[in-house]
Amino acid sequence: MFKRLKTWLVVWAERYQQREIERLQEECCRLKEEVIKFNDGEPIPLSPEQRRLLAGKAKGIDPEVLKQISVFDFQDFHPQCPNDTSTESP
């Protein structure tokens, strides 16, 4: 009896978790569109300190997931390479 109850609880929890993930992904997409619209399609400007903090928080997240959920330019998650020729100053 307990084995059946345990199986039922696991299945229920997995379904609930999957629905919650889908809901949060939809909300993230909606908020991302809202932020981009609010900022006239321009990237959100970040200071070097903000970029560093953001990169630290993004370390353990899969890059493909970051591309899906992030409103920031993906390059904001990685420190600039020493041979980078961009004109932006650190």
Domains in the chain: boundaries: 1-41, 43-84
- 24 burial class (0-12, 13-18, 19+ CB within 10 angstroms)? exposed
**What pLDDT is attached to residue 61?**
83
**Contact, 72 vs 46, CB < 8 A?**
yes
Predicted structure pTM score: 0.55
Tens of pLDDT, residues 43-53: 777 788 988 88
Place of tokens 């420190």: 79
**What pLDDT is attached to residue 12?**
96
Residues of the chain predicted below pLDDT 70: 73-90
DSSP letters spanning 41-90: TPPPP--HHHHHHHHHHHTTS-HHHHHHH-SS-GGGGSPPPTT---S---
**What pLDDT is attached to residue 76?**
60
